[in-house]
Structure formats: structure tokens, C-alpha cells
Amino acid sequence: MIFQVIWFILWGVLWAVFFMLDGFDFGAGMLHGFIAKNEAEKRTVLNIIGPVWNGNEVWLITAGGATFAAFPTTYALMFSYLYTALLLLLFSLILRGVAIEFRGKAEGAGWRKGWDVAFFLGSFLPALLLGVAFGNIFAGLPMDAEGYHGSLLTLLNPYGLLTGILFVLLFLVHGALWVALKGTGDLEMRAGKAANGIWYILLPVAAVFLVYTAFATKLYANYMKAPALLALPAIAVFSLLAVKFLSFKGAYLKAFFASCATIVMVTFTGVAGLYPNLIPSNISPAHSLTIFNSSSSVYTLRIMTAVAVVFVPIVILYQIWVYRVFRHKEAAGKETY
């Protein structure tokens, strides 16, 4: 039992780190065509995320790999039930990567404009789809002994769409703060203004999400059993308020860290409410996929734990080194991407 719990916690941590890191890439990609007013500024935004975006995406692969290895039944049924949605997510992530790499390969205005659109879509769609997917997981899927009784349209329910919008707004603020932190001049000013403006939309959406969650899901049941868990959403709310206070003062580094804390705590709030479920059934709880009925053997989990103890710190240290190397503000218009 202890190893299932360990890997459930690690599963949540991996998703939280992915949202925290790749979230600002998605946000910068969505804002790219709005806050950058000329070619030099567009190139600057690309250069700001260029050294780190593919490393950040590794955490998505790690989260998926951890699901496959630790909870293979959940992995198999999730990719079966949500195949179309996950395929759209994959295609949109590919579109983003190709747009980043191909945009600077030719000089034509039409070429670059086309890839700018692709960059926006490849950033917006993953943010929305991930939010919709997790919203539906929080609420539970219509599944029983006969399988999944839904479709792609079933996922586009009010709560799923609300969660998708929440993710998009969180990442927009996160990305704007990253660009403000790394950019200079007018680009920095516009990014900071965007972060402050979008925050006013994010706040009521987050409030509606917290209230609607009580009616659309059973996440709060765990919080009633263990009130100490209420610290997670409380920290998320406090961090979100701190984002506005700090960004308004122009303290973009502190505001960015507050945004990181907000995203991580929002993820932890959902994951803590799910326990011990990975994908609950909204038809019959007996058919929910839990960390106990869908996990690998204890022997497998024990080996995986030993591997994680060795390699996860190495990955973290490597990423810290990368961010330290590229910690300086980006020179405007530099030819990189």
C-alpha cells in the first residue's frame, strides 16, 4: 500500500511541475502575437522560451511514463477512453514544436505569419485540452463494467470547459510574467500590463471554479475527512492574490514565483481531492480506477522508487543549471529562433 501512495504523490508532483514549467511556455505562445508589436519583439519572445520549452515538456513525458509504469490499467483505459482528445493534444504539441523551429527558416512575411498562427494554436489548444481533461477526471467519467459511455463531445461539458478556461488563464498570466521578467523595454511593459489585466479575469473564474467544484465533483469529500488538506486551496488563493500585488509593483520575479505556487497548489488541490482515485466513475464508484486496483506489482513499484530517487534529482539539478545559464534578460531582436 505504501508504494501505491508514494507513486500517487509523485504522479501529482510530476503533473504539477509540468504545468508550472510548460505553463509559461503555453502562456507566452498565446500572447506572442498580441504583446509583440514587431518582428524583433516576436523573435525576442521566441528566444525567451527557446532554451527551455523542450526541457519543460519532458515533464509531460515523465508524467505519462509514470502513469504507464505505476498504474498501467489506468494508462491503458485512459488512452482508450480519451483517445481522440489525447490525439488532439499530441497534434497540438507537435504543431507548437514545429512552429518554434520552422518560423525562422525563411524570410517571407506570409511564412512567418502562418507559423505565428500555428504557434498560437499549438499553445492554446494544449492548455485548453489539458484543463478539459483534468476537469473531467475531477468530475469522473461515465464508465462501468461495459466500458466508457461517452465521446469527445461528452468531455465538453460545463465543468470541463470551465476547468479548461481556468488553465488557459493561469498559463496566460504565468507566461506574461515570464516575458515581463525576461524581456526589456516596451515588451516588458506590455507583458506586465497583460499579466495585470488578465488577472482580473482569472480571479472570478477561479472563484467560480472553487464553488462549482463542490457541485460537479466529489473532490471536497477528502477535505471534510482531513481538514488539514484545506491548506492546499488556501495557499493557492493566497498565492493568486500575491501575484496581483507583486506584479502591480513590478516585482516580476516574485510575482512569477507566486504564480508557480498558484499553479502547483491548484494541481495539488485537485489531486488531493481525487485520492485514492485516479479516474473516478460518475456512474458507479465500484468501477473507479484507483491507485490500488490499477497499480503495478509492489516489486515493480519498489524498483521504480529506487530509480526515481536516483534520477529525478539529477533531472531537477540539470534544469536548475539550464535556468541559471539563461537567467539574464533576452536581448531584443537577437537571431536565434
Tell me the domain boundaries of the chain.
Answer: 2-325
Dump pLDDT digits (tens) for 144-166: 888 888 888 899 999 999 999 99
Spatial separation of the C-alpha atoms in residues 186 and 28, rounded to whole Å: 16
Q: What residues pair up with 147 in beta bridges, in sequence order?
A: 144
The confidence score (pLDDT) of residue 249 equals 93
Please spell the DSSP secondary structure of 90-133, one letter per residue: HHHHHHHHHHHHHGGG---HHHHHHHHHHHHHHHHHHHHHHHHH
- The candidate with the shortest Cα–Cα distance to 170, out of 3, 334, 7, 22, is 22
Which residues have C-beta within 8 Å of that of residue 212, sequence separation ≥ 6?
158, 159, 162
Counting Cβ atoms within 10 Å, is residue 146 exposed (0-12), middle (13-18) or buried (19+)? exposed
Residue 224's pLDDT band, with cuts at 50, 70 and 90, is very high
The confidence score (pLDDT) of residue 290 equals 96
The confidence score (pLDDT) of residue 265 equals 97
The confidence score (pLDDT) of residue 256 equals 97
Spatial separation of the C-alpha atoms in residues 248 and 241, rounded to whole Å: 11
Spatial separation of the C-alpha atoms in residues 3 and 25, rounded to whole Å: 33
Helix (H) or strand (E) holding 264: helix 252-274
Dump pLDDT digits (tens) for 9-57: 999 999 999 999 999 999 999 999 999 999 999 999 999 998 899 889 9
Residue 104's pLDDT band, with cuts at 50, 70 and 90, is confident
Q: Is residue 287 predicted with pLDDT exceeding 80?
A: yes
Q: Is residue 316 predicted with pLDDT exceeding 80?
A: yes
pTM: 0.95
φ and ψ at 310, to 5 degrees? -85, -45
Phi-psi region of 147 (alpha: psi -120 to 50; beta: other; left: phi over 0): left
The CA distances from residue 152 to 26, 73, 81, 134, 195, in Å, are 23, 21, 9, 14, 32
Q: Indicate the residue type of 295.
A: S
Spatial separation of the C-alpha atoms in residues 76 and 68, rounded to whole Å: 8
Find out whether 129 and 152 touch, Cβ atoms under 8 Å. Answer: no
Q: How confident is the prediction for the chain on average, in pLDDT? A: 93
- The candidate with the shortest Cα–Cα distance to 4, out of 305, 307, 309, is 305
Find out whether 158 and 306 touch, Cβ atoms under 8 Å. Answer: no
φ and ψ at 277, to 5 degrees? -80, 150
Q: Is residue 333 predicted with pLDDT exceeding 70?
A: no
Q: N- to C-terminal Cα distance for the chain? A: 48
Q: Indicate the residue type of 15.
A: W
What are all long-range contacts of 115-119, with beta carbons under 8 Å and residues at least 24 apart?
116/32, 116/33, 116/42, 117/33, 119/29, 119/32, 119/33
Instruction: Provide mean pLDDT across the span 296-304.
Output: 94
Residue 331's pLDDT band, with cuts at 50, 70 and 90, is low
Instruction: Provide mean pLDDT across the span 261-265.
Output: 97
